[in-house]
Structure 1
Amino acid sequence: MTDSERIVIIGASLAGARVADTLRKEGWTGQIVLIGDEPELPYERPPLSKTVLLGKEQPEVSQLHDQAWYDERNIELRLGVAATAIDTAAHKVTLADGTEAGYDKLLIATGSRVRKLDVPGGELIGVHYLRTVAESKALAEAYAAKPRVVVVGAGWIGLETAATARERGCEVTVVEPQPTALASVLGQQVGDLFAELHRSHGVELRFDTGVEGFEGDDKVTGVRLSSGEVLPADLVVVGVGIQPNTELAEAAGIKVASREEGLGILTGPDLQTSVPGVYAAGDVVRWDHPFLGRSIRVEHWQNAMDSGKAAAKAMLGQDVSQDALPYFFSDQYDVSMEYTGDVPRDTSYQVVLRGDPASGAYLAFWLADDNHVLAGLQMNSGWDVIDPIKALIRSKKPVDPARLADTSVELADI
């Protein structure tokens, strides 16, 4: 590519900003246009469900860089205006304000949106979702009044918002249709450990329970459960997952995965879509993972960082194969957790615990039928332990479960 050429990035997200940053770090001096439908400068989401909700920091802490940073790197920002169409034949993007942006290469980092709970009363004041800076700010302000909070969903966002609500003095109940916390990610055994963590901090948990609707006139006053019971609530936080924003790509004729396939813009290991010169990164991409041997989509901070960097290098013609292991972290109360690896749905496995969960510090491993490690988790065991866990996963070698559980045996010696 030459200095006169232009790369357009749709999505002023963490992934989109990571692409722009990497392009400059790799020495590319052509034009970069970063388009975002939100008015804020690109930001990262983890603080929004943690320190911002705790009232310890303002939403601005999530901002990646100030305006001067983009100016110094000659990165043009078009914020507060959505991309409405992609013409891959003409190599141009149409924006909501009627303007167009021509491109030589295109990166789609449109991210995801929250799944809305389609039940009566969903429009009532006091029913919150958490995805954007504005939503985090509104929820943090609402927590200050110490309301009775009902959280719908015991996934990562649900549990993090429950933890911050409790730490701010709110009465909290979590409602979840699955049998335990984080059941679809961690399974019953480790999910139960997270459930106990929240019970120990005074959270009431209602598992195997659905939500039929929200009660109230203008403002929410209760949550009607599938049992018919109504839980009193001054505030509701709904955390029932996210959905990748693939519509723009699909309308442009770019291949996307079906719901049965797990959604997402389909790419190869180099993150190039079905249309040459068009790439994808972040929450929205479902790529062929060379190590795992199947396509995956990852909805976490680290994937935005990794895929953004990889996509930028691929756009510059470098030989790229995105094989980073899925990784995410969570902070709840005084607990710091990291997880890496991937356990495919409907896969049989055994869980091996290393250390005593009652102490608050332990490791958990998910082993396939042949005893090779699929995934691992560290709970309050130090940030330096995740690399040995990744090494065990990448080795694909069967391990002895007894030695894995034995804390006197170094992970590197297993």
Structure 2
Amino acid sequence: MASQRAMAVVGAGHAGGRAALQLRAQGWTGPIVVFGEEPDLPYERPALSKGLLTGEQSADQLMLAQAEGYAGQGITVRLGTAVTRIDTAARQVHTAAGEALDYEALLLATGGRARRLAIPGADQAGVQALRTLADARALQARLQPGQRLLIVGGGFIGLEVAASARARGCEVTLLEGGVRLMGRAVPAPIAERVAALHRAHGVDLRLRAAPESIAALNGRLHVRLLDGDLIVVDTVVAGIGIEPGVQLAREAGLRVGHGVCVDRHLRTSDPHVFAAGDVAECPSVLSGLPLRQETWQNAERQAAVAAANMLGGQTVYDTLPWFWSDQYDHTLQVAGEPALAATEVQRTLGEGAVLHFYLDSDGRVVGASGYGPARDVTKELKLARALVERLARPQAAALQDPNVKLKSLLTA
């Protein structure tokens, strides 16, 4: 490889691809090399469980740039290439093919791998997770009218896949081991509304239910549940989260917690190594506690901040958490950190739409969540998010009263 030190990016997902483009946009004129184990160019993941499965979006629409776009900017993208070792003392990355690249600065954007079901028969054909474009292509091919689908996991991925599969005419059963959907990610009243929506669309939704084993018989998958029930399906999808890709960082001697530990500048315990995206565990803007986020916004914004600081900047990552989930014609959003709340206030908007505001002990809005038909709630969710971003201190009674416009609370 070239003798001039390069900006190296390990991980060719959303954060890695965006960071490479940002490095060039922010003025780096030397080599940029991106290493990715997948065969596809960097892409955005949200549509994998939605538009790509339903056929409303193509794989090309998910790409951050096409091959000629990277080549035209002098960015080398090494697809299907695994980095096996990082030598922080020599500032080199080593690949499985025995190559070594000298780096000026290194970004770890290694994301994570989908957790697999740890039960007998989970290695059968037709049992899969949904994390990569290859996973989505394989699942889309199976989502044909009349096909029977079992989803394990009542989080955002599982619920989005359920909505997409129903749109494709599949019969869907969804198992959630907990007492409600989406765990602690959203308040219980919203989880109940989401459950009702899925049941209204024909999903066989079972709480406190989990698979015990899977067996292939006569071209179908026979799934035995812990309660003894048997479900016969064509496809099983595990939506049970990811395992952050921290192995390279740990073996390189970098500090690792629930992800790769970084400071507010996204710098790891080595001054020449940064981390961004799903794998980065960054101090919370609000509490200072370590926080790892698996969201589109996090990948997009952290990529830009990491690029700036790899170039010698001191940009602070100060973006508050925010994520969304679209299911059928409804949308769900969460902004800020509801877990920091001392008080919760609910605003009912009508037509099944609701907002929840979370206030800390000083009366600041540290979080907001909302749910409802997209046409009715999108504008209100945007205003609620703005209240969180400004750490506004409105009166709880005003937040609760739908006759008090949120916009007036922003300008107060």
State the TM bucket, normalised to the shorter chain. Answer: over 0.9
Query: Deviation at 1:237?
Result: 1.0
Counterpart amino acid of residue 12 in structure 1 = A
Query: Deviation at 1:72?
Result: 1.1
Query: Deviation at 1:123?
Result: 0.8
Q: Show the counterpart of 2:402.
A: 407
Query: Deviation at 1:368?
Result: 4.1
Counterpart amino acid of residue 390 in structure 1 = R
Query: Deviation at 1:372?
Result: 3.4
CA distance in 2, matches of 1:44, 1:57: 12
Query: Deviation at 1:377?
Result: 2.6
SS of structure 1 residue aligned to 2:151:
strand
Q: Show the counterpart of 1:260.
A: none
SS of structure 2 residue aligned to 1:322:
coil
* 1:355 correspondence with 2:367: no
> Mapping of 1:305-344 within 5 angstroms?
305-344=300-339
Deviating more after overlay: 97-106 vs 383-392: 383-392
Query: Deviation at 1:364?
Result: 2.7
CA distance in 2, matches of 1:293, 1:328: 20
CA deviation vs aligned residue, 1:208-239 (integer Å, no higher than 9, x gap): 12221223248552222121111221211110
CA distance in 1, matches of 2:358, 2:207: 23
Q: Show the counterpart of 1:282.
A: 277
CA distance in 1, matches of 2:98, 2:9: 17
Structure 1: which 5+ runs fail to align? Answer: 258-262
Q: Would the alpha carbon gap of residues 216 and 371 (structure 1) be closer, same or farther in structure 2, given more than 3 Å must change?
A: farther
CA contact (8 A) 2:6 2:102 kept: yes
> Mapping of 1:44-59 within 5 angstroms?
44-59=44-59
Choose which of 379, 383, 388 in structure 1 pairs with 2:383: 388
Counterpart amino acid of residue 355 in structure 2 = L
SS of structure 1 residue aligned to 2:339:
coil
> Mapping of 1:77-96 within 5 angstroms?
77-96=77-96
Please report the TM-score for the alignment, with normalisation by the length of structure 1: 0.92
Q: Would the alpha carbon gap of residues 4 and 93 (structure 1) be closer, same or farther in structure 2, given more than 3 Å must change?
A: closer
CA distance in 2, matches of 1:207, 1:286: 31
SS of structure 1 residue aligned to 2:338:
coil
Choose which of 294, 306, 325 in structure 2 pairs with 1:299: 294
CA distance in 1, matches of 2:321, 2:41: 26
> Mapping of 1:151-300 within 5 angstroms?
151-217=151-217, 220-257=220-257, 263-300=258-295
CA deviation vs aligned residue, 1:15-68 (integer Å, no higher than 9, x gap): 011111111111221111111011111111111111111123333332221111
Query: Deviation at 1:365?
Result: 2.4
CA contact (8 A) 1:214 1:220 kept: no
SS of structure 2 residue aligned to 1:227:
coil
CA distance in 2, matches of 1:71, 1:175: 45
Structure 2: which 5+ runs fail to align? Answer: none
Q: Would the alpha carbon gap of residues 27 and 317 (structure 1) be closer, same or farther in structure 2, given more than 3 Å must change?
A: same
CA contact (8 A) 1:124 1:218 kept: no
> Mapping of 1:133-144 within 5 angstroms?
133-144=133-144
CA deviation vs aligned residue, 1:90-118 (integer Å, no higher than 9, x gap): 11111111111111110100001111110
Deviating more after overlay: 301-310 vs 382-391: 382-391
Q: Would the alpha carbon gap of residues 121 and 81 (structure 1) be closer, same or farther in structure 2, given more than 3 Å must change?
A: same
Q: Would the alpha carbon gap of residues 367 and 41 (structure 1) be closer, same or farther in structure 2, given more than 3 Å must change?
A: same
CA distance in 2, matches of 1:60, 1:76: 19
SS of structure 2 residue aligned to 1:186:
coil
CA deviation vs aligned residue, 1:276-323 (integer Å, no higher than 9, x gap): 110000000001133332221000111000100110111112221101
Query: Deviation at 1:146?
Result: 2.8
Q: Would the alpha carbon gap of residues 240 and 348 (structure 1) be closer, same or farther in structure 2, given more than 3 Å must change?
A: farther
SS of structure 1 residue aligned to 2:53:
coil
Deviating more after overlay: 48-57 vs 155-164: 48-57
Q: Show the counterpart of 2:367.
A: 375
Please report the TM-score for the alignment, with normalisation by the length of structure 2: 0.93
CA contact (8 A) 2:54 2:140 kept: yes
CA distance in 1, matches of 2:83, 2:34: 11
CA distance in 1, matches of 2:408, 2:129: 45
Query: Deviation at 1:5?
Result: 3.9
Query: Deviation at 1:241?
Result: 0.7
Q: Show the counterpart of 1:76.
A: 76
CA contact (8 A) 1:59 1:136 kept: no
Question: How many residue pairs end up in the alignment?
Answer: 404
Query: Deviation at 1:167?
Result: 0.9
Counterpart amino acid of residue 154 in structure 1 = G
Counterpart amino acid of residue 353 in structure 1 = R
Q: Would the alpha carbon gap of residues 351 and 171 (structure 1) be closer, same or farther in structure 2, given more than 3 Å must change?
A: farther
Query: Deviation at 1:398?
Result: 4.6
CA distance in 2, matches of 1:305, 1:10: 16
CA distance in 2, matches of 1:230, 1:368: 46
Q: Would the alpha carbon gap of residues 351 and 202 (structure 1) be closer, same or farther in structure 2, given more than 3 Å must change?
A: farther
CA distance in 1, matches of 2:132, 2:389: 35
Counterpart amino acid of residue 41 in structure 2 = L
Counting aligned pairs with the same residue, the percent is 39
Query: Deviation at 1:390?
Result: 3.1
Q: Show the counterpart of 2:33.
A: 33
Deviating more after overlay: 53-62 vs 74-83: 53-62
SS of structure 2 residue aligned to 1:17:
helix
CA distance in 2, matches of 1:343, 1:292: 11
